[in-house]
Amino acid sequence: MSCAFHIEKKFGSARLARLITPHAEIETPVFMPVGTVASVKAVPQETLEELGAQIILGNTYHLYLRPGVATVRKMGGLHGFMSWRRAILTDSGGFQVFSLNELRKVNEEGVMFRSHLDGSSHFFSPESAMEAQIGLGADIIMVFDECTEYPADAGRARASMEMTARWAARSKAYFEAHKHEVPWNIEPRPQRSDLSDACGGGTDLNGETAGAASEPQVPRFARNDNFHLARDSSRFQGQDCTQALFGIVQGGMDRALRKESAERTIEIGFPGYAIGGLSVGEPRELTREIVESTLEHLPKDKPRYLMGVGTPEEIVEYANLGVDMMDCVLPTRAARHGLLFTSKGKISIKQARYAPDAGPLDPNCGCRVCQRYSRAYLRHLYASNEVLAQVLNTIHNLSYYLDTMKKVRGALASAGG
RNA sequence: GCACAGGUGGGUGAGUGGUUAAAGCCAACAGACUGUAAAUCUGUCCCUCCUAGCGAGGUACGAAGGUUCGAAUCCUUCCCUGUGCA
């Protein structure tokens, strides 16, 4: 079992569920902050924990370039490297096939990238992307896909979708042959008498001193965390505890292609399915339409992950449509650019009108930032180009997103009596 | 008082006779941002008018005058600033 998905309640199309991964149980619907280079920009891990982030993203392409998979692996995988004990999902680099279009060349075998860091050439294939993701050791990893650009004509969308389907099969084949090579398994920590270790060590929640001398490079984790390793729970005991590889549906903006992509991906068989290739420039209404129609073709009993969305309103909407997982750079990036999401709409904190505003950013928000700092101060920090502006803005935006999802879960829990 | 060096749009600072309303940078203002090449990117940034355009006027490079078809750029006088010497 690579992951388990227990639906606790359904309401309309929406589902309240628990996704059990090697490092954590995740309550869904869930919003996943993006931490491309093993860092959710401007926010330290302990703050992410405080904010209630259950799972964060990392990016295979970026981490492969720097610091390199081998380095991360030696540190016990991403969890050890960045000292994050909850769940992690890595994107395969498929999105970079789309976003780095100036720096790459795609063919059937894979993608040749020119590094944006130093111009060096690197080749990514479904196999190498899997190898890298296994080495990074996230709880959930993604097939190597081609994120189809928008607009794409019918022929292009079909060809792209079909290649993604072939790449998905190759991804899975490689993964199945190598899935036990995760950092947690191949570099086992010394046996601990007090830890029944189905996954062979790696990340140690209890953080006592045993093993510290022999593997000093693997950080120990704080003890007072209310999350626990799912692999230690009864549901995982004695079972095969590996990463979960999710498939990705493409197909551009064509419903029929999306249906076909879903069917072909399901036929290959994955423990979870993502909807990719959206939020690439198409009108929002079209995004929603494609999401809704694609969801119809995905298994009801498996987690569904909508990649790369959205605004606070949109993530609520998608959760209600039956999406279980979402990620988006919008809250973190917008925060760094001075755009803050509040219960009363968007605020551009750089505007002069906030200079004398002594009130909180969002009077209805309970986050540390809104509890403590004024709009005037936040505006000043931004105008002064202070790093603290980025930190506080990002904390607020993430808090707002995470709370938004929490409310969705709360509403689902109490829905229908 | 004398001798040098200077005075350019909110700030800095290019430009030393001809697409110069005047580069660049900063500040200011507005907008964008959706599996992160993003602490980024766009736009506005002297005034007035409209048919809103690489539109029409006006004003502008310390001040006033002059040379020239044409001056921020050359000349004269004055004012101011910095440094040095008395």
List all residues 6 or more positions away from A221 whose beta carbon is below 8 Å from its beta carbon. Answer: A83, A85, A203, A204, A205, A207
Answer yes or no: is pLDDT of A353 > 90: no
Catalytic residue among A204, A327, A362, A403: A327
Shortest CA–C1' contact from A250: which nucleotide? B35
Answer yes or no: is pLDDT of A372 > 90: yes
Kindly state the average pLDDT of the residues A185-192.
45
Shortest CA–C1' contact from A103: which nucleotide? B37
Kindly state the average pLDDT of the residues A48-59.
98
Residue A121 is predicted with a pLDDT of: 94
Residue A231 is predicted with a pLDDT of: 53
- What is the DSSP pairing of strand A25-28 with strand A14-20? antiparallel
Query: What are the tens digits of pLDDT across the range A199-252?
Result: 444 333 333 333 333 333 444 443 334 344 555 554 455 456 799 999 999 999
Residue A239 is predicted with a pLDDT of: 54
Nearest to A184 by CA among A169, A171, A203, A168: A203
C-alpha dihedral sign at A199, A91, A326, A222 = positive
Percent of chain A with pLDDT over 70: 86
Q: Gap from A381 CA to B11 C1', in Å?
A: 21
Residue A97 is predicted with a pLDDT of: 86
ipTM of the complex in this document: 0.86
Enter the DSSP assignment of A129.
Answer: H
Q: Gap from A384 CA to B12 C1', in Å?
A: 18
The residue type of A211 is G
pTM of the predicted structure, to 2 decimals: 0.88
C-alpha dihedral sign at A34, A38, A44, A49 = positive
Kindly state the average pLDDT of the residues A100-112.
93
Q: Is A327 a catalytic residue?
A: yes
Kindly state the average pLDDT of the residues A34-55.
98
Where b means 16+ CB within 10 Å and e means fewer, A375-408 reads bebbbbbbeeeeeebbbbbbbbbbbbbbbbbeeb
Tokens 């709009």: give the residue: A375
Kindly state the average pLDDT of the residues A370-383.
95
Report yes or no: A217 and A75 within 8 Å, Cβ to Cβ.
yes
Residues facing A5 on adjacent strands: A19
Q: Which nucleotides of B are covered by protein (CB under 7 A)?
A: 27-41
Q: Is A254 a catalytic residue?
A: no
Nearest to A19 by CA among A140, A162, A170, A178: A140
Other Cβ atoms less than 10 A from the Cβ of A413: the count is 12
Residue A232 is predicted with a pLDDT of: 55
Answer yes or no: is pLDDT of A192 > 60: no
Burial (Cβ within 10 Å: 0-12, 13-18, ≥19) of residue A126 = buried
Residue A240 is predicted with a pLDDT of: 61
Answer yes or no: is pLDDT of A198 > 60: no
SS3 A162: helix
Query: What are the tens digits of pLDDT across the range A320-340?
Result: 999 999 999 999 999 999 999
Residue A195 is predicted with a pLDDT of: 37
Shortest CA–C1' contact from A394: which nucleotide? B39
Range from A208-212, A217-221, A309-313, A366-370 carrying the lowest mean pLDDT: A208-212
Q: Gap from A385 CA to B23 C1', in Å?
A: 26
Spatial separation of the C-alpha atoms in residues A406 and A404, rounded to whole Å: 5
Spatial separation of the C-alpha atoms in residues A208 and A193, rounded to whole Å: 12
Other Cβ atoms less than 10 A from the Cβ of A5: the count is 21
Task: Categorize the per-residue pLDDT at A352 as very low, low, confident or very high, splitting at 50, 70 and 90.
Answer: confident
Task: Categorize the per-residue pLDDT at A359 as very low, low, confident or very high, splitting at 50, 70 and 90.
Answer: very high
Answer yes or no: is pLDDT of A272 > 80: yes
Tokens 């292609």: give the residue: A257
Ramachandran class of A67: left when φ > 0, alpha when ψ lies in -120 to 50, beta otherwise: alpha
Q: Gap from A24 CA to B1 C1', in Å?
A: 86
Percent of chain A with pLDDT over 90: 81
